[in-house]
Amino acid sequence: MAEIILKDVTKIYPNGFKALEDFSLKITDKEFLVLVGPSGCGKTTILRIIAGLEEASAGDVIIGDRRVNDVLPKDRNISMVFQNYALYPHMNVYENMAFSLKLRKIGKKEIQEKILNIAGILEIEDILYKKPATLSGGQKQRAALGRAIIREPDIFLFDEPLSNIDAKLRTQMRIELINLHKRLGTTFIYVTHDQTEAMTMGERIAVMKDGIIQQMDTPENIYKNPVNIFTAGFIGSPQMNFIKDSDKNIIMGVRPEKLKISSVEPEESSLSLDQCYVEAVELIGSEKLIYFDCNGLKLISKVPEDIQTIKGNSYKLYCLKKDIHYFDGEKGEKLY
């Protein structure tokens, strides 16, 4: 049972910086949770506190049914995969994977069986006898995963593990990690600043800012019902359009796919904008992004690829009332 609870955790670093204050979070057993947020919001601090690499200044860290604040990292049965992989450079991949098992005095034959089994899953049989320095980023990543998996931990912690590999391999590795999670049936906590990664990987996402969880829910619910401007703007690519209604001190948010182009405005439309000039068009497969300038207001519309617009021409844009998110202009919270 690897449910994780952080209860009122505060972290003050030795230089006096308070990275977390009364932070609480509950991660369900076997869940794939993604912590996402901009650089410096405290994601890594949370992972390191769960792993025991940092001590909480106050509060409780509970794994399963025990409080682990005073349990050493090696006794928490957690594996952590880092951005820089942290492979032992003087050992080849096989030795890197064998290391923790040797410490546990597991026999050579059993170690070999385990390594070959995991090497098969990760398709790294051909690099087992290579040193980390001779591997590509993707190979290092797999080797680091292999070393983490072999310990058969209750919990995997991932700290931006895919940020050093190229875009194509990254997409592939995301899918592999999702499948790995299904196969292993363990709790995964995955830290990233990349919202696409969060959206594609997390069963639930916790969106963070300044040490505080802004919203925690499924990717779909966060996308459809962001609770504030920060979450609305952070999740979704391209970003949600924001239009200020200065009279009412309200900010209206419209997803690019909900901002339509038409000469005829439908009856139920509640937002329409005239004189929106096409600045640029970007083809993204079966869809297009159209970048508009409406009297200085920059807006993006996502439309099917067959919609034709001419750069420099002006169009009328509209949005249906049901597709508008209304936020408080000052506090940023969702109004209705």
Question: Which residues bind to ligand ATP, rule: CB under 6 A?
Answer: 13, 15, 17, 19, 37, 39-45, 193
Run of H or E including 24: strand 18-27
Nearer to ligand ATP, 37 or 202 (CB): 37
Nearer to ligand ATP, 17 or 336 (CB): 17
Closest alpha carbon to 215 in 201, 230, 200: 230
Nearer to ligand ATP, 37 or 236 (CB): 37
Nearer to ligand ATP, 19 or 254 (CB): 19
DSSP track, 281-296: EEEETTEEEEEEEETT
| 82 Cβ neighbours under 8 A, 6+ residues apart | 144, 159, 161
* Minimal distance, residue 284 CB to ligand ATP, in Å: 27
State the virtual CA torsion across 46, 48, 51, 56 in degrees, nearest 10.
-70
* Minimal distance, residue 117 CB to ligand ATP, in Å: 33
Nearer to ligand ATP, 196 or 272 (CB): 196
* Minimal distance, residue 191 CB to ligand ATP, in Å: 6
What does DSSP say about strands 18-27 and 212-217: parallel, antiparallel, or unpaired?
Answer: unpaired
Query: What single DSSP character describes residue 306?
Result: T
Closest alpha carbon to 155 in 8, 4, 6, 36: 4
Nearer to ligand ATP, 45 or 195 (CB): 45
* Minimal distance, residue 57 CB to ligand ATP, in Å: 12
* Minimal distance, residue 327 CB to ligand ATP, in Å: 24
* Minimal distance, residue 125 CB to ligand ATP, in Å: 33
> Which SS3 state, helix, strand or coil, does residue 196 take?
helix
* Minimal distance, residue 176 CB to ligand ATP, in Å: 22
Closest alpha carbon to 189 in 46, 52, 10: 46
Nearer to ligand ATP, 41 or 119 (CB): 41
Q: How far is CA 247 from CA 244, 317, 322, 326, in A?
A: 9, 21, 21, 14
Adjacent-strand bridge partners of 79: 156
Nearer to ligand ATP, 207 or 254 (CB): 207
| 46 Cβ neighbours under 8 A, 6+ residues apart | 6, 20, 23, 25, 35, 191
* Minimal distance, residue 45 CB to ligand ATP, in Å: 3
CA–CA separation, 236 and 238 (whole Å)? 6
